[in-house]
Amino acid sequence: MSVGDSLLAVVKTPLWLAAIATGAKSFVDNPILGSERLNRWGLHVGRVRLAARLAGMRRRWLARRVPPAQRQAFERDGFVVLQDFLPAPEFERLRAEVLDDAWEAREMRQGSTVTRRVFLDVARLGRAKPALAAFLGRQDMRSLIRYVAATGGEPAFSIQCILANAAGAADDPQCVVHADTFHATAKAWFFLQDVGPDDGPFLYVPGSHALTPQRVAWEREQSLAARQSARRDHAEGSFRISVDDLHQLGLPQPRSIAVRANTLVIADTFGFHGRTPSPKPTQRIEVYGTLRRNPFLLWTGLDPLSLPPLRSRLGSVLTALDRMGIVPMPWRPVGQIRLDAPPKI
Ligand SMILES: [Fe+2]
């Protein structure tokens, strides 16, 4: 280690230490989180266990706003599927608002797959997109996202189009079954088109959201070597899992969740999930929501992003932070574009 590196380590050590109490997950960017010795002593599994305990506590509080049938489905599977979520005329209005217009979009390429995303300011949709605004304001949907995420606060919404080109999409990291992070976190998809078995549907390993003793042991094993992993996403704390390991953990094989248009799927992506590889080029357009906060909070409220100036303007906030270089996004601006247009990057 050079003198410069040593000095940098001295400056950064307090930040690395402080990150233990946050959702920081990368084993390569933070040598404390990635330390084999500390993880042998239980640092990673300690964070996993504590996060799960606190998530359970917060979820019990958030449960009061979620119907029992949805809670039972979630407890059993780790995801909830709600078909025919909107009345048909309302759904058709929403779909037309989204698909018949050009949007200020960004794109990101992962292997042969391009994801196009439009970050939404719910407050600004107003009169121009009333059906979309009404959908994003629905308290039942927001309550279910919060329950699955095991946290309160403001979900971030966008419109997303996934354009998967190559057969098999073997180079697409989203097609490898994985957990997003070490704690409960929610992702939601409201599908504007049918997604058949060959259209690259979402897949999930039912029951894999639960922290079992086998999962703890597996997390511990991964944490010892993750820093050296050649798979970048794995080293950054989104653990990839093999079919054999799923079997070892006593988990079933992943289930492809093919859906009709107008279906809402909300999943805890601490559970193992991915995108089903498709034998043909596919295009999937959906309203997408995500909610992830510090997993060690004792409370569900007090989210700065829920304050009036920021709430409903998350799209602008994210774009501004990217422009200022404070929180750079991997998404490149591609200007005004229809969601079904060919990829620009
Ligand atoms: Fe994921």
What confidence tier does 167 reach under pLDDT thresholds 50, 70, 90?
very low
Q: Is residue 215 scored above 90 in pLDDT?
A: yes
Residue pLDDT, tens place only, 260-284: 999 999 999 999 999 888 778 888 8
pLDDT in tens, 298-340: 777 766 666 666 666 667 777 777 777 766 677 888 989 999 8
Distance 187 CA to ligand 1 centre (A): 9
| Residue 259 CB contacts under 8 Å (≥ 6 apart), including other chains | 81, 83, 191, 194, 195, 201, 265
Burial of 79: CB neighbours in 10 Å, binned 0-12, 13-18, 19+: buried
- Let me know the angle formed at the C-alpha of 224 by 18 and 233, rounded to the nearest 5 degrees: 75
Calculate how far, in angstroms, residue 148's C-alpha sits from the geometric centre of ligand 1. Answer: 15
DSSP run (H or E) holding 80: strand 79-82
Compute the C-alpha angle 320/324/329, nearest 5°: 70
Residue-level pLDDT at 305: 64
pLDDT at 153: 86
Q: Tell me if 182 sits within 8 A of 270, measured CB to CB.
A: yes
CA of 128 to the centre of ligand 1 (A): 32
CA of 216 to the centre of ligand 1 (A): 19
Please provide the average confidence, as pLDDT, over all residues in the chain: 89
| CA 89 to ligand 1 centroid distance, Å | 32
Cβ-based neighbours of 331, under 8 Å, separated by 6 or more: 106, 107, 108, 117, 322
Structural domains in the chain?
Answer: 29-338 (2.60.120.620)
Query: 126 C-alpha to center of ligand 1: Å?
Result: 31
Q: What is the pTM of this model?
A: 0.90
Model confidence at 287, pLDDT cuts 50, 70, 90, reads very high
Mean pLDDT of 201-211: 96
Q: What is the pLDDT of residues 126-158, one digit of tens each?
A: 778 999 999 999 999 999 999 999 999 889 899
* pLDDT > 80? residue 10: no
Q: Which residues pair with 203 in a beta bridge?
A: 256, 274
Least confident span in 85-99, 158-172, 240-254, 272-286: 158-172
Q: What percent of the chain has pLDDT over 70?
A: 93
Residue written as token pair 């009333």: 130
Q: Calculate how far, in angstroms, residue 301's C-alpha sits from the geometric centre of ligand 1.
A: 25
Q: Which of 24-38, 56-70, 80-94, 170-184 has the lowest mean pLDDT?
A: 170-184
Beta bridge partners of 332: 107
pLDDT band at 166 (very low <50, low <70, confident <90, very high): low
Give the distance (Å) from ligand 1 centre to CA of residue 108.
Answer: 15
From CA 74, how far away is CA 81, in angstroms rounded? Answer: 9
Confidence of residue 100 (pLDDT cuts 50, 70, 90): very high
Amino acid at site 326: I
The one-character DSSP state at 210 is S
Distance CA 116, CA 128 (A): 21
Q: How confident is the model at residue 168 (pLDDT cuts 50, 70, 90)?
A: very low
What are 11-30's pLDDT values in tens digits?
A: 788 888 888 889 899 999 89
Provide the pLDDT confidence category of residue 289 given band limits of 50, 70 and 90.
very high
- pLDDT value for 312: 64
Which residues make Cβ contacts (< 8 Å) with residue 311, sequence separation at least 6?
A: 123, 154, 305
Q: For residue 123, how far is its CA from the centre of ligand 1 (angstroms)?
A: 28
Dump the DSSP string for 16-53.
HHHGGGTT---TTT-TTTT-HHHHHTTHHHHHHHHHHH
